[in-house]
Amino acid sequence: MDFLEPDAFFELAAFEHRDLFAGCKYVWDALSKISGHLEEHLGANVAEVGCFKRPLPATVVLWHGKTLTQGFEILGGDTRKGQFSVIIEGEERTDAAVLWEGSILWDDAIHIGAGAVFEPGALVKGPTIIGPNTEVRQGAYVRGKCIVGARCIVGHTTEIKSSVMLDGAKAGHFAYIGDSVIGNEANLGAGTKLANLKIREQTIRVMAHGTRILTNLRKFGAIFGDHVETGCNSVTNPGTVLGKSCQVFPLTSVRAGYYEPNSVIRG
């Protein structure tokens, strides 16, 4: 079933963690590979911050392997456009990650990419990779086993666990992303919830073109192909698989199963 392979959902050439999807018969097989990928590729770089499980008492800058607590001036700018700038050693730079005072690192099993920004109140647990120029906003909760690509938004009171966001994916406000993969430049409208666990205890199955496929996953939220968009307060049921450029209307409860690219899903 070529239409359920990762290449049918995502342009992977530019994605740093594309090998996560190598050898996957079904796109959701990547979910079972997240832990192993993180063990191999994490490259944690926050140990020198030295403050865990409590809010940072002062703003910290990570730059070229250095952890700076002073000697910089933050100018700001658009994080996702690579324009968030910091003056270091007398020069304006856009390749420094900024952890604002009040953000929380739960442990040191975290990699933060160049130009990323953690706002006050954001809480991140490892193992997790946060890509370059990604914005983790106030009140965001990254629960671990997460791979977040470049230029993403993990938004205000958004929770994400055991999931992947490809480059440019955005969950700006009040979202829940559990055991899911969000494609390049996909956008979750405010209040979008990706339910990942059936009420009845059973392995999740996906209906695709009349065939019911056993995923061997007890927890499985959704797959969103590149450029998928959801309206505000929409909910996907466990095992929802949306092809590229699907659109979900606001207030819609999306039934589990596979949806062709460019599908428009109404309540």
At residue 29 the predicted structure's pLDDT band, cuts being 50, 70 and 90, is: very high
Give the Cα separation of 213 and 230 in Å (integer).
Answer: 25
* Residue 227 pLDDT: 98
Inter-residue contact 224 to 180 (CB < 8 Å): yes
* Residue 201 pLDDT: 83
Domain that holds residue 149: 2-265
| Strands 170-173, 153-156: pairing kind | parallel
Tens digit of each residue's pLDDT (9 = 90 or more) over 54-101:
999 999 999 999 999 999 999 999 999 999 999 999 999 999 999 999
Over 80: is that where the pLDDT of 240 sits? Answer: yes
For the domain that residue 223 is a member of, what is the CATH number?
A: 2.160.10.10
* Residue 200 pLDDT: 83
* Residue 142 pLDDT: 98
Average pLDDT for 6-16: 98
Over 90: is that where the pLDDT of 199 sits? Answer: no
Average pLDDT for 237-249: 98
Over 80: is that where the pLDDT of 1 sits? Answer: no
Tens digit of each residue's pLDDT (9 = 90 or more) over 208-220:
999 999 999 999 9
Tens digit of each residue's pLDDT (9 = 90 or more) over 98-155:
999 999 999 999 999 999 999 999 999 999 999 999 999 999 999 999 999 999 999 9
Percentage of the chain exceeding pLDDT 90: 98
* Residue 267 pLDDT: 78
Over 90: is that where the pLDDT of 164 sits? Answer: yes
Inter-residue contact 245 to 226 (CB < 8 Å): yes
* Residue 160 pLDDT: 98
Nearest CA among 201, 246, 203, 198 for reference residue 223: 246
Average pLDDT for 176-191: 98
For the chain, the three-class secondary structure string (H helix, E strand, C coil) is CHHHCHHHCCCCCCCCCHHHHCCCCCHHHHHHHHHHHHHHHCCCCCHHHCCCCCCCCCCEEEECCEEECCCEEEEECCCCCCCCEEEECCEEECCCEEECCCCEECCCCEEECCCCEECCCCEECCCEEECCCCEECCCCEECCCEEECCCCEEEECCEEECCEECCCCEEEECCEEECCEECCCCEECCCCEECCECCCCCCEEEEECCEEEEEEECECCEEECCCCEECCCCEECCCEEECCCCEECCCCEECCEEECCCCEECC
Task: Provide the number of structural domains found in the chain.
Answer: 1
For the chain, the average pLDDT equals 97
Percentage of the chain exceeding pLDDT 70: 100
Give the Cα separation of 108 and 126 in Å (integer).
Answer: 7
